[in-house]
Amino acid sequence: MPLFGNTFSPKKTPPRKSASLSNLHLLDRSTREVELGLEYGIPTMNLAGQSLKFENGQWVAESGSFTGDRREMQRLRKRNQQLEEENNLLRLKVDILLDMLSETTAESHLMEKELEELKSHSRRRK
């Protein structure tokens, strides 16, 4: 037993095995799709009897599935447009009213200040 030596000497760890023995990661994308069957096609879903497909980043109704609801969708879009225009008009009116209120408040403060100055000036004369 050594007096000043290191009594702890861990065993050397064995070298690690490679992460994957498969050569599929070396294949290009098209070959992998053919080999592994990764061609899914266009995503589709069925909601309340209406079939939708995902194209160019948006869900689009498949032909013939929304025929009865197209009029309803157009009516809703028109109503939405009307509400947006009304909302913009009301915002404009609120902005105008706030400007008018600010102007009236500023005038009121100026008048109060003038009144206080006149009162103090008349007190000095007496």
Which of the four pLDDT bands, split at 50, 70 and 90, describes residue 125?
confident
Q: Is 104 exposed, middle or buried (0-12, 13-18, 19+ CB in 10 A)?
A: exposed
Regarding whether 110 and 84 lie in a shared domain, the answer is: yes
Which of the four pLDDT bands, split at 50, 70 and 90, describes residue 20?
low
Number of folded domains that form the chain: 2
Closest residue by Cα to residue 122 from 114, 52, 11: 114
Regarding whether 80 and 57 lie in a shared domain, the answer is: no
Identify whether 114 is part of a domain: yes
Regarding whether 82 and 116 lie in a shared domain, the answer is: yes
pLDDT in tens, 60-111: 877 654 555 778 888 999 999 999 999 999 999 999 999 999 999 999 999 9
Range(s) of the domain holding residue 55: 26-64
